[in-house]
Structure 1
Amino acid sequence: MKNYLLILLLFAAAPTLAQTKISGIVTDQKGGVLPGANITLKGTYDGTSSDTQGNFAFETDETGSQVISIQALGFKTQEINIICSGNPVTLKVTLPESINLLTAVTITAGAMEASDEKKSVVLKPLDIVTTSGAMGDITAALLTLPGTSTVGNDGRLFVRGGDASETSIFIDGLQVGNAFGSTASNVPTRTRFSPNLFKGSFFSTGGYSAEYGQALSSALALNTLDLPLRNQGDISIMSLGGGYTQTLVGKNNALTASGNYYNLAPYQSLVKQNFDWEKSPSSWDSEISLRQKWGNAAKGKSGFIKAYFHTEGNGMAIWQKSPGNDLPGNDGRGDRIELHNRYSYGNVSFRHSANKGWFFYGGAAFSHNRDKYNINREPIRQINQIAHSKIAAVKDFTPQFSLKNGLEWYIKSYSEALISQNLKRKYTDHQLNHFVEATYYFSNRLIMVGGLRTGYSSLSKQMWVTPRFSVAYKLENQGQFSFAAGKFKQLPEEKLRVLQTNLKNGEATHYILNYFIVNNNRTFRAESFYKTYDNLVTYQGLPTAPANITQNGAGYARGFDFFYRDKTTIKGTDFWITYSFVDSKRRFANYETKVQPSFAPRHNGSVVIKHFIGKLKSQLGSSWSWNSGYTYNNPNLQGEMQSKTKMYSDLSISWSYLPRPNIIIHAACSNVLGRSNVFGYRYATQPDETGFYASLPTGQQAKRFAFIGLFITLSKNKDANQLNNL
């Protein structure tokens, strides 16, 4: 009986003897306490939560080796091995912050993200096609963003004191050669590609990634759509022409094919032109896009491949008066310039998620541009070709650290010929590039990116190394500061390299400080920048016949800009306001001193407003763009670039109406006030008998440009229209 009672007492006492008290405190990496952390003994129901001071305590009947798990929202889970033997266990736990890419800080210095995947969207394709004055042109819409300058007689992208040739354009990571349509001097051009192709863009105003090179000022990376929403046909009937697009969508693939024809002759016969057209511009284009998805994302292996091909042709003939130099037999009309252009661009790109966190992407692209000019009946042919291939690998080695590593190969060729004289000159250049870029998140508030790009040109026999660096810190109020710096190289334009093939890289160094905040559908961005130039090309004589080409040029561009966008304050209204100040001077081309370039007005601004009226099924839009005027060189005065035009101003309006869900009517008019904008003056090459150089102003084609279009979508879904994929 005594033995039986002893056994009962031992069993009753056993839980008390084996019970272990576990206590401690939970803090973050800075020593701050973490209330509400969950502390559990893995595989059991034993555990507790930390109090307001970060302290915790609980008891367990488990014995032997055990694992304590500590979890807190926004922090990485920690697991600690302990021994439960009845003796108290005291812990001091430090939880590192976990990185949440949706809420973590992002680099914004010099970057304008515009894609569905990014939290801080600036411009979507839908914004581009509905911005008044842009007329559906990607570049024209981007000119309403900070850091850009409107150069009305050109139409390309001019960024922060840089020439348009200093901006490179990429589609799905692959460079596009001759992305703007060929045109005559002082006749503005536009991008060759429709914004309907793209799901978003990355527009850099400087300090961009080591992945992009051969651009002193800017990179514009456009990303095409993956899979469209549905099968549909889109008909476009416009005042300038028309077209048709057919989209076929499968479960994991899609095909889109389109064709368009444009002719400005009917329009220009109705609207008085300031240009003397012999043959109004006309063009056609066709393109096809294939997309294929593969793999199983759930198993960590998936990918996407895209193939895209675009071809087009255009032509025009124009007479341009030459100040003080009328040729005999031309009735005072000046120089006759006839142009026929053929252009093709194609690329194949892929992206693939592989095992162990590896991600691969790349592809190959080819651009071919042929211009046939007849200048005063003298035939000239120019051919420009670019082949580009790329492969890159990305891996997140830890939640904080990722590395991108890539190789690129370019083949660039250019030729020009005087057909009647049987004269030809050309070159071919092979360029090999390597880029590596590391990203490290110190926390959700602090990120640093460092990159290095190297390159080699077989033609110039030059190797280069360009480091890039950026860092960003997020504040308590969701705003953040970013800083970026880096070196950038670019070989001179092909028309100079074909004259002197050993020309080396021009150089630029960027420094950018940025503040950025997005809150409640309001975006504010303020940025200051400083950029230096070295090894710019200089020469003597006219740009059409440069002599004594050297690379003694240098300069700088500095300034600041602001951007504010608001979709909340006024109901049904989206508007943004932009202002940029650029102080730029450089010695380049045939200038003997540092001058303010004609393409870099000091003050630039824009206001864009879009208001939707539900009862009228309409969106009304307006945009106002202005700058402080363009510098120009007046040979009748002492010095260089010593004159400036009056302020440039353009007020545009638009109206989009949906009479039915699948029908859109869009009308727009630029420069509705009819302001006579002058972009500069052309002067005679020789003075008259009094020593005076005659001049002619360079102005707009017409005071206003009006557009109207009817867009019809045919599909099983009667509510579908051409805006659905944007």
Structure 2
Amino acid sequence: MPMISPSIIRTLFIVFLLSFAGYVSGQDPQVSVRGRVYSDKGTPLPSVNVYLHGTMIGAFTDEQGFYQISAPRTKEGYTFVFSHIGYENQKRKVRKVGSQSLVIDVRLKPVLLEHRSITVTDHALNGDEETGVTLTPLEIVTTAGSYADVFRTIQTFPGVQQVGDDAGLYVRGGDVSETAVVLDGAYLYHPYRFESPNGGFTGTVSPFLLKGTYFSSGGYGVEYGNALSGVLSMQSRDMPERFGIRMGLGLASYSAQLEIPVVHEVLGLSVSGNYGDTHYLYRFNGTSQVFSKYPVSYDFNLNWTYRYAPGGTFKLFYFRDSDDIGVEIVQPGDPLHYKGNSRQNFMNLRWRQLAGERLMFTGNVAFTDYGHRKQIGMLDLDSEDRLYQLRLRGEYVWKHVRVHAGFESYEHRHYLSGQIPVDPTSAELNPRLDVSHLDTGYRSTRLASFVGLNGKWAGRIGFAGGLRHEQIMSTNERALDPRFRITLPLSAGWNALISIGTYHQFHNPSRQTKLVEQSLLKAMKSTHYITGLNFQNEDSMYRLEVYRKIYTRLPLNDMNPRNLNGGHGYSQGVDVFMKRDWNRLSGRISYSYIKTQRLWEEAPHLASTRFDITNNLNLVADMAIALNFRLGLSYRYATGKPYTSGPHTYHDQRLPSYRRLDLNLTFLHRFLGSKPDVFYLSVANVLGRENILDYIYSRDFLRRSTVRSSTLRTVYFGLSINL
């Protein structure tokens, strides 16, 4: 399998040398300018463009409305411009600066009346992201039991089912593959790390590389496609404001990050690396699993930002990761040994340009190269996937309406080689079995376009709607998805939400390649019906949503081509979310009830799926217990997943319920750098409950093996220091 191209290495090396050379050149005296930007209603505004008039020095506000820039000291004073699409520009003049720092807080007046729903989004420029929830990196790190992982933190929110101990996002009756993961506007092909038959252990992207995270469990807008159930959208960090070094050390990981503001507010570079080795983690805590290779991983990241104009930026995000694992698979009789390793290269160039007060353009050019090898007995498969992406988007504010439209192109190349047993039901460990050799490839090109609008009618009723069109070029298969949402104000802080939308997802080329090639396997389809109540003020958020999803054209394991797309199903349920912040305590409660059934794949009839987890309850709290000390607590409860207990049944029984109490102690303090240092100690499954994750039966159902959590209680500790 090809390694990273030498030309890419040379390019990254040259960029680093030029950036470092620019930094070590002479520096002029600087004035630090910081502050916060609010709307006219007092809510923080993210993505506001703040810049020094007549220069390219500037920054965008973060998800909480904060900004900070460095300006050269001058006797003439300053004029700062605050610009945001949909709001009137505001200029602030400062004639004299008597210190090294300056604080400027402003409120912007809207060009059109605001139509934000009560839920918070990771940026205000995208009207499609109104119905989600957001997380900051600090919230991810301090959530007990999350292992400082984005995906595991998202699992504590409503609409996500706790299927096992893995990090997979099973959203409102959907499989883990039905949730799209996006980074800076580009899709991540494989977002999980330490992949095994039990799923991925964590996500690939560290929270320290992110400035914000947005998650939607349904009803998302037309900008997102090829996903039946949910969307996780992450934003990487912006240009560094000052030189900094971050060092991390944990029981199973080591990390380092270097930030270089090459030219203040014009050119910045961030480089980081992480190495993970779980050997000491499992040796310290003990494990019921037998590893032939303890999970090991490493990743490298380069984030380069160039501001070529006050309202224009280029951002290059490069990420490479690799992991390796060998583990024994529990089954009746002789055990199976699984060996897996993967590597991924992801490169994304993002462009953003504000054109006046009413118009903005964004674009992405991205490339992914993902390779994976897995070995189980006589099965030995080596796969490679290459994904090329192009995304262009424009947004315009006209009177009381915000219009956005875009075009997207995706080319997916899949290669598969190796060997599989001729009889897959036989014992794969038998070396005398006949094997079939594979060497195949598949190429798919998908085009998409969308147009949407949102605003307020009569100054009160919010609306959002649009159309998304997708087409597979090789088969000429097309999909048209209308989506609509309306928000009705009820009283102070309360809103009612109604959302209806259609969503399609095309099959991965690695699945039944020839059937896709022959236009026999069509895109899956789901229709979302959502209604809910929302409330939000400065310290509280409450949300109740009732939904129903209808699935059609699901794949069946049927030899008759006419029946391949005959699968169908539904999921329906209720999601409840409550969040409250006090002076020293913040907490959230999420509860989900769901009933989901499908006739798909090997299911003989309409039946519960393995991710039909009836009840999910998450209690999360974070409390300041002393100076700089915070205590986090998380309790999770989930109904056991269905399993098949006999030869003539299907998912007729359920596992025992899943329960876990996690604690997290964090100490935050600034020792040397401008950012807080973090010391943390976490204990997962404090009570040592033995959670059963699955039952594995022999083919005659006379013998049964139990799959349990890898550790009864996991203690983890580490620190992150900024220099």
Alignment TM-score, normalising by the size of structure 1 = 0.77
- Residues 1:484 and 2:504 aligned together: no
Aligned mates of 1:201, 1:101 — CA distance in 2: 27
Classify the secondary structure of the residue corresponding to 1:322. coil
Counterpart position of 2:530 = 512
Quote how far apart the aligned CAs of 1:549 are: 7.5
Alpha-carbon spacing, 1:132–1:287, altered in 2? closer, same or farther (3 Å): same
Quote how far apart the aligned CAs of 1:675 are: 0.8
Q: Match of 2:345, as an amino acid?
A: S
Aligned mates of 1:449, 1:668 — CA distance in 2: 42
- Residues 1:127 and 2:165 aligned together: no
After the TM superposition, list the runs of 4 or more consecutive aligned residues in structure 1 that deviate by more than 6 angstroms. Answer: 116-121, 546-549
Task: Please list, as runs of the form range in 1=range in 2, the aligned pairs for 1:323-338 lying within 5 A after superposition.
Answer: 323-324=332-333, 326=334, 334-338=335-339
Classify the secondary structure of the residue corresponding to 1:385. strand
Alignment deviations for residues 207-242 of structure 1 (CA, whole Å, 9 cap, x no partner): 111111000001111122223342110000110020
Asked if 1 retains the 8 angstrom alpha-carbon contact of 2:619 and 2:635, the reply is yes
Quote how far apart the aligned CAs of 1:272 are: 2.1
Aligned mates of 1:582, 1:699 — CA distance in 2: 24
Aligned mates of 1:317, 1:526 — CA distance in 2: 43
Quote how far apart the aligned CAs of 1:627 are: 0.8
Classify the secondary structure of the residue corresponding to 1:500. helix
Q: Match of 2:167, as an amino acid?
A: G
Counterpart position of 1:618 = 629
Aligned mates of 1:498, 1:361 — CA distance in 2: 34
Counterpart position of 1:539 = 557
Asked if 1 retains the 8 angstrom alpha-carbon contact of 2:292 and 2:326, the reply is yes
- Residues 1:702 and 2:716 aligned together: no
Alpha-carbon spacing, 1:658–1:477, altered in 2? closer, same or farther (3 Å): closer
Work out the number of aligned pairs and report it: 590
- Residues 1:579 and 2:600 aligned together: no
Counterpart position of 2:414 = 414
Aligned mates of 1:713, 1:613 — CA distance in 2: 23
Quote how far apart the aligned CAs of 1:624 are: 0.5
Task: Please list, as runs of the form range in 1=range in 2, the aligned pairs for 1:425-464 lying within 5 A after superposition.
Answer: 425-464=440-479
Counterpart position of 1:595 = 607
Aligned mates of 1:460, 1:539 — CA distance in 2: 21
Counterpart position of 2:228 = 216
Asked if 1 retains the 8 angstrom alpha-carbon contact of 2:114 and 2:455, the reply is no
Counterpart position of 2:11 = none
Counterpart position of 1:251 = 265
Alignment deviations for residues 259-315 of structure 1 (CA, whole Å, 9 cap, x no partner): 11111112222332111111101111111000112323xxxxx11211100101111
- Residues 1:196 and 2:208 aligned together: yes
Alpha-carbon spacing, 1:116–1:391, altered in 2? closer, same or farther (3 Å): closer
- Residues 1:552 and 2:566 aligned together: yes
Asked if 1 retains the 8 angstrom alpha-carbon contact of 2:134 and 2:215, the reply is no
Aligned mates of 1:580, 1:304 — CA distance in 2: 41
Alignment deviations for residues 373-401 of structure 1 (CA, whole Å, 9 cap, x no partner): 22226532011222111001111122x01
Classify the secondary structure of the residue corresponding to 1:113. coil
Counterpart position of 1:61 = none
Aligned mates of 2:458, 2:715 — CA distance in 1: 52
Task: Please list, as runs of the form range in 1=range in 2, the aligned pairs for 1:95-106 lying within 5 A after superposition.
Answer: 100=110, 104-106=114-116
Aligned with 1:171 (options 183, 200, 203): 183
Alignment deviations for residues 142-189 of structure 1 (CA, whole Å, 9 cap, x no partner): 111111111224321110000001000111111111111251212542
Quote how far apart the aligned CAs of 1:356 are: 7.1
Counterpart position of 1:678 = 692
Quote how far apart the aligned CAs of 1:441 are: 1.7
Q: Match of 1:590, as an amino acid?
A: E
Asked if 2 retains the 8 angstrom alpha-carbon contact of 1:182 and 1:371, the reply is no
Classify the secondary structure of the residue corresponding to 2:228. coil
Aligned with 2:641 (options 612, 625, 630): 630
Alignment deviations for residues 118-148 of structure 1 (CA, whole Å, 9 cap, x no partner): 9996532221111001111101111111111
Quote how far apart the aligned CAs of 1:711 are: 1.3
- Residues 1:649 and 2:659 aligned together: yes
Asked if 2 retains the 8 angstrom alpha-carbon contact of 1:538 and 1:588, the reply is yes
> Which shows bigger deviation, 433-442 or 443-452?
443-452
Quote how far apart the aligned CAs of 1:527 are: 0.7
- Residues 1:283 and 2:297 aligned together: yes
- RMSD (Å), alpha carbons: 2.5
- Residues 1:423 and 2:438 aligned together: yes
Classify the secondary structure of the residue corresponding to 2:115. coil
Classify the secondary structure of the residue corresponding to 2:223. coil
Counterpart position of 1:392 = 393
Alignment deviations for residues 593-649 of structure 1 (CA, whole Å, 9 cap, x no partner): 11111112011010001001343x21111100111211111125x431100011111
Alpha-carbon spacing, 1:385–1:537, altered in 2? closer, same or farther (3 Å): same
> Which shows bigger deviation, 151-160 or 372-381?
372-381
Task: Please list, as runs of the form range in 1=range in 2, the aligned pairs for 1:522-533 lying within 5 A after superposition.
Answer: 522-533=540-551
Asked if 2 retains the 8 angstrom alpha-carbon contact of 1:362 and 1:390, the reply is yes
Task: Please list, as runs of the form range in 1=range in 2, the aligned pairs for 1:20-169 lying within 5 A after superposition.
Answer: 100=110, 104-107=114-117, 113-114=121-122, 122-169=134-181
- Residues 1:358 and 2:359 aligned together: yes
Counterpart position of 2:327 = 318
Q: Match of 2:414, as an amino acid?
A: Y
Alignment deviations for residues 339-389 of structure 1 (CA, whole Å, 9 cap, x no partner): 121111110111111147321011111111111222226532011222111
Aligned mates of 2:473, 2:388 — CA distance in 1: 15
Quote how far apart the aligned CAs of 1:100 are: 4.1
Percent of pairs with identical residues: 24
Q: Match of 1:184, as an amino acid?
A: S
Classify the secondary structure of the residue corresponding to 1:270. helix
Counterpart position of 1:66 = none
Aligned mates of 1:356, 1:186 — CA distance in 2: 50
Q: Match of 2:141, as an amino acid?
A: V
Quote how far apart the aligned CAs of 1:101 are: 7.8
Counterpart position of 2:317 = 308
Aligned mates of 2:603, 2:199 — CA distance in 1: 24
Classify the secondary structure of the residue corresponding to 2:393. strand
Alpha-carbon spacing, 1:494–1:633, altered in 2? closer, same or farther (3 Å): farther
Aligned mates of 2:601, 2:384 — CA distance in 1: 23
Q: Match of 2:265, as an amino acid?
A: K
Alpha-carbon spacing, 1:374–1:549, altered in 2? closer, same or farther (3 Å): farther
Aligned mates of 1:444, 1:698 — CA distance in 2: 56
Task: Please list, as runs of the form range in 1=range in 2, the aligned pairs for 1:224-303 lying within 5 A after superposition.
Answer: 224-249=236-261, 250-296=264-310, 302-303=311-312
Alpha-carbon spacing, 1:356–1:655, altered in 2? closer, same or farther (3 Å): closer
Alpha-carbon spacing, 1:115–1:452, altered in 2? closer, same or farther (3 Å): closer
Asked if 2 retains the 8 angstrom alpha-carbon contact of 1:682 and 1:697, the reply is yes
Quote how far apart the aligned CAs of 1:664 are: 2.2
Q: Which runs of 5+ in 1 are unaligned?
A: 1-75, 78-97, 297-301, 327-333, 715-726
Aligned mates of 2:229, 2:668 — CA distance in 1: 40
Counterpart position of 1:720 = none
Counterpart position of 1:19 = none
Alpha-carbon spacing, 1:101–1:273, altered in 2? closer, same or farther (3 Å): farther
- Residues 1:466 and 2:481 aligned together: yes
Aligned mates of 1:127, 1:116 — CA distance in 2: 20
Larger Rg belongs to: 1
Aligned mates of 2:112, 2:135 — CA distance in 1: 19
Q: Which runs of 5+ in 2 are unaligned?
A: 1-86, 89-107, 420-434
Quote how far apart the aligned CAs of 1:533 are: 0.2
Asked if 2 retains the 8 angstrom alpha-carbon contact of 1:624 and 1:650, the reply is yes
Aligned mates of 1:510, 1:146 — CA distance in 2: 16
Asked if 2 retains the 8 angstrom alpha-carbon contact of 1:99 and 1:441, the reply is no
